[in-house]
Amino acid sequence: QKEVEQDPGPLSVPEGAIVSLNCTYSNSAFQYFMWYRQYSRKGPELLMYTYSSGNKEDGRFTAQVDKSSKYISLFIRDSQPSDSATYLCAMGVDSNYQLIWGAGTKLIIKP
């Protein structure tokens, strides 16, 4: 069993829909949780990070962490075609040490 599980998709939704992306993990020592966006042939770009349970909002993006269930989510409101990319969750015990990554979910927003 992988430490971090993420559905690879693809997930295809119409423009304007609310998108929900999820990861589960098995290591209860993880304290830092991050969401990255990766466009084709580019490096990952940090979208959001959090180190506590609960919700964190930034514009159209909301990150949610449930440590009791070992489950994290990223919600995207008013999705746009430009949001089409692969979304990777990453987590770690210490934010400045190695991150353990999910495989990424490919998201397609249809105009």
Name the residues that contact another protein, by CB under 8 A: 4, 6, 8, 32, 36, 41-46, 49, 51, 88, 90, 95-104
The CB-of-98 to another protein minimum distance in angstroms stands at: 4
The CB-of-17 to another protein minimum distance in angstroms stands at: 25
Closest to another protein by CB, 42 vs 110, is 42
Closest to another protein by CB, 82 vs 97, is 97
How many residues can be counted in the chain?
111
Cα angle vertex 86, ends 18, 15, to 5°? 30
Question: In angstroms, rounded to a whole number, what is the distance separating the alpha carbons of residues 83 and 79?
Answer: 7
Residue 82 backbone phi and psi in degrees, to 5:
-70, -10
The CB-of-66 to another protein minimum distance in angstroms stands at: 20
| Side chain identity, residue 100 | I
Beta bridge partners of 48: 35
Closest to another protein by CB, 4 vs 19, is 4
